[in-house]
A and B are shown apart, each in its own frame.
Chain A
Amino acid sequence: MGTISLKNISKSFGSTQVLKDLNVDIIEGEFLTLVGPSGCGKSTLLRIIAGLEQQTSGDVLIDNKNVNRIRASERDLAMVFQSYALYPHLTVRRNLETPLRLRDYSTFERLPLIGNLSPNKKQKTESINQLVSKTSETLKISELLDRKPGQLSGGQRQRVALGRAMVREPVAFLMDEPLSNLDAALRVHMRSELSELHNSLKTTFVYVTHDQAEALTMSSRMAVMIDGNLLQLDTPQEVYDNPSSLSVAQFVGSPKINIFKGSSDSNGTVSLLNLTLKRKSSESNLELNIGIRPEHLEITNQSDENTFSATVSYRENLGSDIFFHVNTEDGMNRIIVRGIPQLTHEISSGSKVNIRRVSNKALLFNKEGKRVQFNNA
């Protein structure tokens, strides 16, 4: 229970195609993050899974059952929205009860007053109350049950929205940027809470975000989407270490990966600036983009064949790390280097530094942004 397969999903709004032939298999119980810059179609994809939007072509399968023609409410999914979308006129308790009442009560039982005549209603009400109190205890919102959403803080509303999704014990949770309305500290805190919740519920989570940090920290797998294409679907570590294309490499990781212009000669020897790499490119005679992450460059006093010199233009102190924005001598590249505060605290902007690259960490991309492998790497 809880697998979702998307087969050849395409979606167009008028003449603009926002999703281009996507295939995703979501494994039972995993925390899958759909991540990408805004406008890449990730929310649309989530809404297609939810059934709030109809795909132009392709199939959605939940637990191997085609749900193309099944309404949102009957897909047994729960969704948490960015703005929480709590019913403003109902108390927290009623907000939590609503999905259950709609699922469990018959139309007759939902009628005011005469609905109470139904013999089964009492029993159903009891089970609803139990589920609500169980959920509110899990989320620590029991004392908020009689308040209205307007009287809650952002974090509390977030919990109630989660609770409303949880009470139904759905096949999967869909979350559309649920943390983006919270302040920075609370967001980081809620990340860990969501991960814990996922561990204890063991339900499938599909989580949409534009924040690559959220994707890296929480997900078991992340799907990177750009311009309606699924570029890479893998574990966060794999996506970070081994991006399939230049755009993925640039999107994932903060600060951004440094890109150098370089080339490979007829032997496949890769050269950039004044450096040559030990490993050989699998494709020779090629213009290359060489990506090196800021933490794979270090500032050093020595100068040898593995270093190049540059001028510091800006110093970004984050406490645990200092990031130096430097310009290379040829003026062609503005790059970011991570420095350890203890070793680099005396370096200020304007000073000249030598930068050494850590070997075996460079990533090669061709002119079109496709990944180029090293030989027997």
Chain B
Amino acid sequence: MQAKQYIGESWKHGILIIGAILVLLPFYMMVSMSLKSQQEIQSISGGLIGAQEVQTFPVCVKTGYSEETCTTKPYIYNYWFAFEKAPIPRYLMNGVIVTLSIFIIQVLVALPCAYALAKLRFYGREFVFSMVLFCLLIPVHGIALPLYVMLAQAGLVDTYSALILPWTISVFGIFLMRQFFMTVPDELIDAARMDGMGEYSIVWKVMLPTAIPALLAFAIFSVVAHWNDYFWPRMVITGNRDLFTPPLGIREFRGGIDSDEFGPMMASIVTVTVPLIVAFIIAQKRFIEGITLTGMK
């Protein structure tokens, strides 16, 4: 009986392990390639970290560095050259500025909206909410061109505003927070009103603190989406390298006179991905809480 149970369990785990490997394999490749030399990458040899032989890297020399600087172990070279070739800290900072601005403004807009849709009675509320749901169905790419034209008319192409403004109203955020606010008892809001709070105070002092788990879930959705977004920055940032977000920065390693050197490229990708992974691990527990809480699972 017990043995049978174990077999049943191991089946499930076997399938899950296969799934996990499929998902993790690209990450393994990424980390591995960021440590190895170009020859090892191209000949698919050297396992995870390669032989780490000290060697001179031709692309480096071609770029104009002295041969001495270009002679080192592959993993040092990959990461050093990634940072040399592109201003990665600048890209990371841009990423932080853009994603945080988007998230903060999204919250500033979504919370009062969600509160009104969930808790205030007004004529046309159901209609407004159905419009919110309708907007969820509109794919970003479908409206990208008109958006771009509008931004261009306003002279905002190649600015932070172009990266941030189109995303400040998140219908998904409004929807998610509204679902959460529906579960907050009306009496809590009435109590706050009796205590003398205005509607805005209620949103920021009562609803916001109770909504932290849901907000965290939304933060992950929002930050991941905009940190990783390649499509939109590619459209509105046309020339100014100072405004590049991390995904745009990675593109710098493709093509050009340097041919395709994968080591530094992967190193830069690791650098760009790690902050998100760390953030997710820290917020993981709350994140899952938030998703279950809002019934979005």
Would you give the 0/1 interface string for B183-213, flagging 1 where the beta carbon is closer than 8 Å to chain A? 0010110111111110001000010011010
Q: B206, A81: Cβ atoms under 8 Å?
A: no
Q: A103, B196: Cβ atoms under 8 Å?
A: yes
Q: B194, A50: Cβ atoms under 8 Å?
A: yes
Residue of B nearest to A52 (CB): B190
Given A89-B209, A89-B210, check contact A102 B191 (CB 8 Å).
no
How far is it, in angstroms, between the C-alpha of A109 and the C-alpha of B117 when the chains are bound? Answer: 31
How many residues of chain A have a CB within 8 Å of chain B?
A: 24
Q: B195, A102: Cβ atoms under 8 Å?
A: yes
Contacts of A47 in B (CB 8 A): 190
Q: How far is the CB of B196 from chain A (nearest CB, A)?
A: 4
Q: B188, A52: Cβ atoms under 8 Å?
A: no
Given A85-B187, A85-B188, check contact A98 B194 (CB 8 Å).
no
* Residues of chain A in range 313-365 having any CB-CB distance to chain B below 8 Å: none
Q: B196, A87: Cβ atoms under 8 Å?
A: no
Q: B196, A77: Cβ atoms under 8 Å?
A: no
Interface presence of A82 (CB below 8 A): yes
Q: A73, B197: Cβ atoms under 8 Å?
A: yes
Contacts of A99 in B (CB 8 A): 194-196
Q: A81, B195: Cβ atoms under 8 Å?
A: no
Contacts of B210 in A (CB 8 A): 88-89
Interface presence of A216 (CB below 8 A): no
Q: B206, A87: Cβ atoms under 8 Å?
A: yes
Q: B196, A102: Cβ atoms under 8 Å?
A: yes
Among A71, A74, A79, which residue has its beta carbon within 8 angstroms of that of B191? A79
Among A73, A82, A90, A103, which residue has its beta carbon within 8 angstroms of that of B193? A73
Given A73-B196, A102-B197, A103-B196, check contact A81 B209 (CB 8 Å).
no
How far is it, in angstroms, between the C-alpha of A83 and the C-alpha of B187 when the chains are bound? Answer: 7
How far is it, in angstroms, between the C-alpha of A330 and the C-alpha of B187 when the chains are bound? Answer: 51
Would you give the 0/1 interface string for B25-61, flagging 1 where the beta carbon is closer than 8 Å to chain A? 0000000000000000000000000000000000000
Given A82-B187, A83-B185, A85-B185, check contact A52 B195 (CB 8 Å).
no
How far is it, in angstroms, between the C-alpha of A47 and the C-alpha of B193 when the chains are bound? Answer: 12
Interface presence of A78 (CB below 8 A): yes
Contacts of B195 in A (CB 8 A): 73, 98-99, 102, 164
Contacts of B197 in A (CB 8 A): 73, 102
Contacts of A139 in B (CB 8 A): none
Interface presence of A273 (CB below 8 A): no
Extra contacts, 20 of them, besides A85-B191, A90-B209, A102-B201 (Cβ < 8 A), are: A47-B190, A50-B190, A50-B194, A72-B194, A73-B193, A73-B195, A78-B194, A83-B185, A83-B187, A83-B188, A85-B190, A87-B209, A89-B209, A89-B210, A89-B212, A99-B195, A99-B196, A102-B196, A103-B196, A164-B195
